[in-house]
Structure 1
């Protein structure tokens, strides 16, 4: 749910910095996940738990079991930030080189090989709509969505230019139980939990 004005305001850079500082303060006081998008600050009020966290952890482990040793499927912090576009996102799983994780601040999107989102029960449009727009704009080459509401998902890739800006050209849908390929790595979706 957007709770602040558009970052692309005529004074966009200053407004973006204000929103960035605001989410850093809010994280200390309120539960949930805060991000900055083109619409403003998004707050997913529900702290992820249960099926959401189990799905992210299983995907992380499964990816790491098939990736080279120098890569990591990370489920922690930091944020991914594209200041020029006024976007801060906090993916559920990020795939990157171990060396690129060694930063004091936010990660640069160009260091990521893929991101994975487990669709939020309380704000699914943030994952299916806003992030589908923001991640290619940030230059993230592969975006995988796992949706515990429906037991389905999609892998988006092939960034290309459109009149509305960069978008993913390729969408590969899957249902839980099938194998899915994220970037160069194929994993099982067997046994992933669903929301009750």
Structure 2
């Protein structure tokens, strides 16, 4: 179903809300005038997401928590993502909506999927930077590396650290710890 506005433009957010997506699938707005539907991730992908969750939990700032199912809806750039994991204030996560504002998100993390690697490596990198999300962590089981992007300015991250699996990734404040990548799965 496609919903249009009175001037004939497609209202992607309303269309997205009205989609009947099969259980486990993710529907996101990653590109202009397009809704991307991705299949459920494989087990190795989810094990890495859980490893991220377990490692981040002890280092969360007071009043913040992790999330793995809610959408981050960026009306100002007409994009929407469902990160594999993100960190936001508990109050923002305690919502009646299916989404939160990017202004609440202090870290977004994606684990690259074999079937749509460019979504995480390229599209979401640009989206998170444009939304000024302070930290974007990209875990890439295909390249066997992790990249931490930070300090967004003018729609781009100005700092980037890429390290191979097995090397710790320094995660900046307010987290302030070294992410152990030795337990991440490869495809």
* TM-score (structure 2 length as normaliser): 0.85
Residues 132 and 153, structure 2, Cα contact 8 Å, conserved in 1: no
Residues 37 and 87, structure 1, Cα contact 8 Å, conserved in 2: yes
Residues 177 and 189, structure 1, Cα contact 8 Å, conserved in 2: yes
Which of residues 178, 181, 185 in structure 2 aligns to 1:189?
181
Q: Aligned-pair distance for 1:96?
A: 1.4
Q: Counterpart in 1 of 2:156?
A: 167
Cα deviation, 1:143-165, whole Å, max 9, x if unaligned, reads 0100111210201111122xxxx
Q: Aligned-pair distance for 1:179?
A: 1.3
Q: Counterpart in 1 of 2:17?
A: 24
* TM-score (structure 1 length as normaliser): 0.82
* Residue 176 (1) aligns with residue 176 (2): no
Q: Aligned-pair distance for 1:90?
A: 0.7
Which of residues 86, 101, 104 in structure 2 aligns to 1:108?
101
Cα deviation, 1:163-192, whole Å, max 9, x if unaligned, reads xxx111111001111111233232211211
- Secondary structure of 1:193's counterpart equals coil
Q: Gaps (5+ residues) in structure 2?
A: none
Q: Gaps (5+ residues) in structure 1?
A: 5-10
Residues 146 and 169, structure 2, Cα contact 8 Å, conserved in 1: no
CA distance in 2, matches of 1:177, 1:29: 36
Which of residues 86, 89, 107 in structure 2 aligns to 1:97?
89
- Secondary structure of 1:123's counterpart equals helix
Structure 1 residues 180 and 108, CA gap change in structure 2 (3 angstroms): same
Which of residues 60, 68, 76 in structure 2 aligns to 1:75?
68
Work out the number of aligned pairs and report it.
Answer: 178
Instruction: Calculate the aligned-residue CA RMSD, in Å.
Output: 2.1
* Residue 88 (1) aligns with residue 77 (2): no
Residues 64 and 71, structure 1, Cα contact 8 Å, conserved in 2: no
Structure 1 residues 100 and 181, CA gap change in structure 2 (3 angstroms): farther
CA distance in 1, matches of 2:101, 2:58: 25
Residues 176 and 192, structure 1, Cα contact 8 Å, conserved in 2: yes
Q: Counterpart in 2 of 1:130?
A: 123
Residues 27 and 33, structure 1, Cα contact 8 Å, conserved in 2: no
